[in-house]
Amino acid sequence: MDSVPYTEQHNTLTMNVDTGSVENIVDLLHECNLQVFNGYENHEGLSDEQFLNKLDRLVTLVREILQNEKGIIVISGCGTSGRIGFLASTFFNQLCIERNLPPKYRYIIAGGNSALVTSVEASEDDPVIGATELKKISESFEHVLFIGITCGVSAPFVGGQLEYCLDNLQKFTPVLIGFNPVSMARRIHVPKWPNGRTFYDIALRMEKTSEAIVLNPIIGPEPISGSSRMKGGTATKIILDTIFYLASTNNSIKTRDVIEEFKTTIDRMKTERMKLATVVQQAGDCLLNDSYIRYVGSSTFGVWGMIDASECVPTYNSSYNDIRGFMANDYFKKNLNPEPVNSFVSPALHESTPDDLWKIFENLPSSSLIIFIDTEYDSQKSLIDKLQKKKHRIVWIKLLSAKSLEPNSNVQIIDFSTSITSSDMTVQYCLAEIVLKLCLNTISTGAHILKGKVYQNIMIDVRVSNIKLFYRAIDIIKLLSGVDYQTAEKCLIQSIHQTDNELNKQTIEQHITAVASNKDHIVPIALLMCLSNCSYTQATHQIDKCPRIRDICTNTNRSST
Ligand code: F1P
C-alpha cells in the first residue's frame, strides 16, 4: 500500500495556519487537540469503543504485573515518545512508592538519558541497540510487559525491541502504541536490521500474535504535518496515564470516564485563549528579534518545559539557544536510569537554583521571554524582580498549587487552575500536565509559525537528523517545488554536504551524519535550488535575502501552490 501514513498527512484544518492571526493559530491548534478524542474524518479517535476495550485489556495486564514479584513494565520510545515514557514511568513509580509498593516501571529512551532533554534523533534508526537495551533492563525479571511507542509506527529502535519480545513470548508481552494502521507502518529498510526486515514486518507479526496488543487509534494528521510531538504525544500521554492510573486504583471508574476528563479539561483551555495568544505573539517576536524563550519549572512540570524546548531543534531547525528549559529541583537526579560512568551527561539534566538561573539569564538578549511553570513564587520572586528590571517579559503558568501573585508584580498570568479539577489527586495532576503540554506546544509552535518556519502547515526547515526525517524532507521539497523524487533527493544531498557537485556514492547514514556538522537551512536551500533551478552556491546567496524562510515559497513563482 502506497498511501501516505496519517501521521505524515496534511491536516485540512490547518492548511492556512501560517497566514491567519495569532488568535487563529491558537484556535486552530486547540481544535486539532480535540481531534484526538473526536476523531478525524471517518475515524473515531480515543473515544472509540473498540479502542477502549483494548485499553481495558491492558489495564488488566498492568494490574497483574504490579502484583507479580518477578514482573516489570518497560516503556520505550524515541524522541518525544521516549520522553513521555520516562515521565509516565517516574510518576507512577512515585505512586507505587507512596503506597509502599515496589516501583515497577522502567523506561528506555533511544540515545540514553541525555535524549530526555536534547535532540538525539539518529539513535532511533538502530533496532539492534534497542533490543540490547531491553534485554539488559529486563534481565533479572521473569515477566515483562513491554510498551513500545512510535507515533508514526516507524522507529526501528522500537521495532527491534518488539521483535525481541515476539521471539521470547514466554517472558514478554509486547504492546505497540502508534497512530497509523498497520498497513501504513514504515516499509523502509534500515541497514542495521538483518534480512531486510522493516517495521511493517514487525507490526504485521504483532497483529497476528494473540499475546501481543497493537494500540493504534487513528487520531488524524498533525496540525503541523509530521510533528508527532503534538497530537501523537498528547494521545500517548493520555493512553499511558489512563492505563497506569486505572491499574493502580480500586475504584470502579471506567476507562471512558478518565478519557472524558482529559477531553473536557482540554476543551476548557479555550477560556485562556486570548492570554495564550498574547504570549504566542511575544514568543514569535522573540524568535524574530533574536531574543530567547526560557521555561523554568520543577519536577515533571520542569521536564515538560525541557521536552517542549528540545523538540524545536529537529522540527524547526531552531538553535539550541532559541528555546531552553530549566529544572528548578533535583527531579532528574532522583529518577534517571544509571548509565556507565564515562557516558555523556547533558548539563541540562542538573538542577538550577534561582542563583544559578540568574547567572545564566543575566545576559539574556533584551525583551526575552521567561515562562515560569507553576513553581513556588516566593522562591523565584527575587529572580523575577531582577529579570523585570532588565525589561524581560515574565509569564506565569498557573496549574495547580502556585500561590497567588502579588497584584503589582507585572507578571502575565495564564491561569488554568480553575479548569483543572478532578475528585482524584492523581488524575488532577495528570490533567495539569496535559494542559501544560498543550500550552507549551502552542507557544513554541505558534512562535515558529510567526517566525516563518511553517509554510501552509508544513515544517519547511526540518532538521534531517534521521532516516524518517530524510524522507520527509524529500517529500516536502517535491510537494512544494513540483520536481521529481530524484531531483529533490539530489538537491537535498548537495545541500546537506554544502556542495555544487553531485554525490552518488554515499549512503543515507553518511548524509545524516553530515547533517550534524551543517546547521544551515538544509531543506530551505534544497527547496530553493529546485524552485529556482539554481546551484547550491546560488541558493545560499539567495537565502540570505529571505528574512523569513517561508518567503522562499511565496516569492518564487514556480511554487506549485
Ligand atoms: C520519534 C521522533 C519524534 C521527533 C522527530 C523524530 O517519532 O523522535 O519524537 O519529534 O519527529 O522522531 P515516533 O517514533 O514516535 O514516530
Instruction: Give the distance from CA 273 to its chain's centroid.
Output: 22
- 392 lies in some domain: yes
pTM: 0.96
Which atom from ligand 1 is nearest to the alpha carbon of 124?
A: 8
- 71 lies in some domain: yes
Same domain, 426 and 471: no
pLDDT of the residue at 556: 67
Question: Residue 229 Cα, ligand 1 centroid: separation in angstroms?
Answer: 7
Residue 29 Cβ < 6 Å to ligand 1: no
Question: Residue 151 Cα, ligand 1 centroid: separation in angstroms?
Answer: 7
Which atom from ligand 1 is nearest to the alpha carbon of 236?
A: 15
Determine the Cα–Cα distance for residues 235 and 73; give it in Å rounded to an integer: 19
Same domain, 497 and 450: no
Same domain, 280 and 218: no
The number of folded domains in the chain is 3
Question: Residue 226 Cα, ligand 1 centroid: separation in angstroms?
Answer: 9
Same domain, 170 and 240: yes
Among the candidates 429, 455, 481, a domain finishes at 455
Strands 454-455 and 458-459, sheet pairing: antiparallel
Among the candidates 455, 483, 516, a domain finishes at 455
Q: From residue 268, give the alpha-carbon distance in Å to each of 32, 81, 138, 522.
A: 14, 25, 41, 40
pLDDT of the residue at 403: 62
Residue 325 Cβ < 6 Å to ligand 1: no
Residue 314 Cβ < 6 Å to ligand 1: yes
Residue 313 Cβ < 6 Å to ligand 1: no
pLDDT of the residue at 401: 67
- 489 lies in some domain: yes
Residue 155 Cβ < 6 Å to ligand 1: yes
Residue nearest to atom 2 of ligand 1 (CA): 79
Pocket test for ligand 1, best of 200, 228, 441 (most atoms within 8 A of CB): 228
pLDDT of the residue at 554: 83
Determine the Cα–Cα distance for residues 478 and 309; give it in Å rounded to an integer: 29
Which atom from ligand 1 is nearest to the alpha carbon of 80?
A: 9
Q: Is 23 helix (H, G, I), strand (E, B) or coil?
A: helix
Same domain, 468 and 531: yes
Is 418 buried (19+), middle (13-18) or exposed (0-12) by CB count in 10 A? exposed
| Residue closest to 269 by CA, chosen among 528, 37, 60, 34 | 34
pLDDT of the residue at 404: 65
Terminus-to-terminus CA distance in the chain, angstroms? 27
Question: Residue 124 Cα, ligand 1 centroid: separation in angstroms?
Answer: 8
Kindly state the DSSP code that residue 42 receives in the 8-state scheme. Answer: T
Q: Is 500 helix (H, G, I), strand (E, B) or coil?
A: coil
Same domain, 417 and 472: no
pLDDT of the residue at 1: 46
Determine the Cα–Cα distance for residues 440 and 445; give it in Å rounded to an integer: 8
pLDDT of the residue at 161: 98
Question: Residue 391 Cα, ligand 1 centroid: separation in angstroms?
Answer: 37
Question: How many residues can be counted in the chain?
Answer: 561
Residue 122 Cβ < 6 Å to ligand 1: no
pLDDT of the residue at 561: 40
- 406 lies in some domain: yes
Residue 98 Ramachandran class (φ > 0 left, ψ -120 to 50 alpha, else beta): alpha
Same domain, 143 and 266: yes
Determine the Cα–Cα distance for residues 10 and 4; give it in Å rounded to an integer: 10
- 518 lies in some domain: yes
Same domain, 355 and 485: no
Residue 76 Cβ < 6 Å to ligand 1: no
- 11 lies in some domain: no
Question: Residue 425 Cα, ligand 1 centroid: separation in angstroms?
Answer: 31
Residue 221 Cβ < 6 Å to ligand 1: no
ipTM confidence: 0.96
Pocket test for ligand 1, best of 468, 470, 471 (most atoms within 8 A of CB): 468
Same domain, 218 and 255: yes
In this predicted model, what pLDDT tens digit does every residue of 417-459 receive, in sequence order? 999 999 999 999 999 999 999 999 999 999 999 999 999 999 9
- 559 lies in some domain: no
Determine the Cα–Cα distance for residues 178 and 148; give it in Å rounded to an integer: 9
pLDDT of the residue at 560: 42
Determine the Cα–Cα distance for residues 316 and 226; give it in Å rounded to an integer: 12
Residues of the chain with pLDDT under 50: 1, 557-561
| Residue closest to 23 by CA, chosen among 325, 217, 365, 277 | 277
Question: Residue 111 Cα, ligand 1 centroid: separation in angstroms?
Answer: 13
Same domain, 255 and 280: no
Same domain, 401 and 507: no
Residue 236 Cβ < 6 Å to ligand 1: no
Same domain, 44 and 117: yes
Q: Which three cell numbers stand for residue 475?
A: 517529500
Determine the Cα–Cα distance for residues 480 and 472; give it in Å rounded to an integer: 12
Beta-bridge mates of residue 76: 108, 148
Which atom from ligand 1 is nearest to the alpha carbon of 155?
A: 14
In this predicted model, what pLDDT tens digit does every residue of 171-195 receive, in sequence order? 999 999 999 999 999 999 888 898 8
CATH number at residue 25: 3.40.50.10490
- Domain encompassing residue 400: 274-455
CATH number at residue 540: 1.10.8.1080
Residue nearest to atom 4 of ligand 1 (CA): 79
Question: Residue 253 Cα, ligand 1 centroid: separation in angstroms?
Answer: 33
- 547 lies in some domain: yes
Question: Residue 179 Cα, ligand 1 centroid: separation in angstroms?
Answer: 12
The answer to whether residues 160 and 126 touch, using CB atoms and an 8 Å cutoff, is: yes
| Residue closest to 43 by CA, chosen among 286, 221, 185, 172 | 221
Residue 80 Cβ < 6 Å to ligand 1: yes
Among the candidates 404, 423, 455, a domain finishes at 455
